[in-house]
Structure 1
Amino acid sequence: MVGAMKTKFDKYWGECNLLMAIAAILDPRCKMTVIEYCFPKMYSKEEAREKIKKVKDALYELYDEYVADMYSDTSTQSEQIIDNTDRRSGVKVASGWSEFIQHVKSAQTSKPQQSELSNYLEEGCHICEDMSTPFDALEWWRTSALKYRILSKMARDILAIPVSTVASEATFSAGGRVIDAYRASLNADTVQTLICGGDWCRSLHGVKRKNKSEKKPLEIMLPIP
């Protein structure tokens, strides 16, 4: 039993969950400080250093994807605006507005020397003055969207992912489950159909579910004569 519990514990906590780590960093109250504080408590010194680097590399790699996507969209939109402007004017010569849009396009497609992510991480953590009021990280990013145009979109996509939880006794239970690793890909309708079908079959054949509250009958061992 202890061996099975240890295996499950290592499965959930032995590996670093990159998504959870990045979500914690995108909480302005935590940033990289929470990773640098917690990982040495969870892993050995060398392992903590490697995992911190792994999280930081994944964070910047993900941010670079958002940057590339943002600038490609900006370039496409600028070209569409120029085409529509020239089409409405009916002339092939570049107008003053199209020249301005072209200037904006070249300015926006040139990446800044320091990224929004670097600026965000270099700033101090956000400290809540009123600890009794719940902090809304998504609201903080909404109000900071002008300052962090790209990073706020990335934070919104990650922090909006719902987190699933499970009770500790269910996590380390050795009993059978309705949804196990082999049926985890079933959709909700299929799962509901299977559970209802099982209940109907038990009812049809008079089979009752085991009730944990029911006490087992007392067994008396009699000596064999």
Structure 2
Amino acid sequence: MTTRVNSTYSMLESALKYRHVFESLHLYDGDYVFCPSAEEWKKVEKICAFLLPFSETANMINGTSHHTSNLYFLQVWKVQCVLVDSLGDEDEDIKRMAERMMSKFEEYWDEYSVDLALGAVLDPRMKLSTLAYCYSKLDATTCERKLQQVKRKLYMLFDKYSSKNTSSGMKRTIQDQSSRMPLQKKLKSLSHGLFDELKVHYQQVVTRTGKFQLDVYLDESNLDFRCYEDMDVLQWWKSNNNRFPDLSILACDLLSVPITTVASDFEFCMGSRVFNKYKDRDDFEDDDDFVEIMNEVDGDEKSEKASNDNDFEDDSNDGDDD
């Protein structure tokens, strides 16, 4: 299939393994006269290197392990790095191919990069520092602006989750369970636990302070990739639910969004398949709670941007009057 990058990579990668067989085939078959030249084999190697990140992304998205969306940002960023590097390639064919792909990629990246980045920030191994590295490698001049945009949207999203009083609901559930606890268990629970009272106090502080959860999470050091390369991010948030009651719910909702529901045969297809913001398909249910909240945040962000633009125009007009 000439329109599918993934199948093209698989075909060429397989052919490279048998390069010496092809080069010797004429010794056994006199009719074999179309063996690629050394220059053509060199081009095959370069094209394989160019298509490799696309193939890896397709395998990650559609693999049986069902990766969480925190890895999507790095994969898309890796693809962008390859495209940027290939724009200056000495091979004109690869250069033209990269230019065509980059024009399409920029449309996608400009519209969805913030949403992809939110999943990466909620990976305790990455957070904002990894985003800073990725953004600066591509364009250091726009790095800070992009970071602030991601951070602003993350705080707006967290505010929406906090306003639903999820932590208060969990607290009431705990109190209800405690009221139904048998007397013997109550006495036993009170007889030990040196830090129990302090744990309750910390939970109350976290519940009252709202953004405090997100601030604490972002300020903590990143987990070391070398030690946590195969970490289950959803399990980490589940284990830290007591520390970040509201933030953990947000993280699990965001990270659980499937990267795609498109079959692997259609990945990177050049056809007219249309992607959706949060599930990469137009058949995503509009009444889903997470999507409703994300749509609210998008609306608030647009309103805030419009307000800031109006304020800037007013200030400019005042300056002209002076």
Check conservation: 1:71, 1:109, Cα contact below 8 A.
Answer: no
The verdict on how the C-alpha distance between 1:120 and 1:172 changes in structure 2, with shifts beyond 3 A counting, is same
Stretches of structure 2 lacking an aligned partner (at least 5 in a row): 1-95, 177-203, 276-280, 285-322
Query: Match of 1:152?
Result: 248
Check conservation: 2:213, 2:244, Cα contact below 8 A.
Answer: yes
User: Following TM superposition, by how much is the alpha carbon of 1:114 offset from its aligned partner in structure 2, in angstroms?
Assistant: 5.7
Q: Which has the larger radius of gyration?
A: 1
The 2-side partners of 1:67 and 1:14 are apart by: 28
Check conservation: 1:18, 1:55, Cα contact below 8 A.
Answer: yes
Task: Classify the secondary structure of the residue corresponding to 1:124.
Answer: coil
Q: Deviation digits for residues 10-43 of structure 1, max 9, x if unmatched?
A: 1133445222101000000011111111111123
User: Following TM superposition, by how much is the alpha carbon of 1:118 offset from its aligned partner in structure 2, in angstroms?
Assistant: 0.1
Q: Residues 47-86 of structure 1 correspond to what in structure 2 (within 5 A)?
A: 47-70=142-165, 74=169
Check conservation: 1:29, 1:126, Cα contact below 8 A.
Answer: yes
Query: Match of 1:36?
Result: 132
Q: Deviation digits for residues 136-161 of structure 1, max 9, x if unmatched?
A: 00000000001111110000000001
1:23 lines up with 2:119 in the alignment: yes
- The TM-score normalised by the length of structure 1 is 0.55
Check conservation: 1:22, 1:55, Cα contact below 8 A.
Answer: yes
User: Identical aligned pairs, as a percentage?
Assistant: 26
Q: 1:6 aligns with which of 102, 109, 113?
A: 102
Query: Match of 1:127?
Result: 224
Q: Deviation digits for residues 39-97 of structure 1, max 9, x if unmatched?
A: 1112341x22211111000000000111111269649x69xx8xxxxxxxxxxxxxxxx
More helix by share: 2
The 1-side partners of 2:213 and 2:206 are apart by: 15
**What is the identity, as a one-letter code, of the residue corresponding to 1:154?**
L
Tell me whether 141-150 or 109-118 shows the greater mean CA deviation.
109-118
The verdict on how the C-alpha distance between 1:146 and 1:180 changes in structure 2, with shifts beyond 3 A counting, is closer
User: Following TM superposition, by how much is the alpha carbon of 1:109 offset from its aligned partner in structure 2, in angstroms?
Assistant: 11
Q: Deviation digits for residues 165-219 of structure 1, max 9, x if unmatched?
A: 898x96474xx45x468xx7469xxxxxxxxxxxxxxxxxxxxxxxxxxxxxxxx
Task: Classify the secondary structure of the residue corresponding to 2:124.
Answer: coil
The verdict on how the C-alpha distance between 1:29 and 1:166 changes in structure 2, with shifts beyond 3 A counting, is farther
The verdict on how the C-alpha distance between 1:128 and 1:6 changes in structure 2, with shifts beyond 3 A counting, is closer
Query: Match of 2:232?
Result: 136
The 1-side partners of 2:210 and 2:158 are apart by: 15
The verdict on how the C-alpha distance between 1:135 and 1:180 changes in structure 2, with shifts beyond 3 A counting, is closer
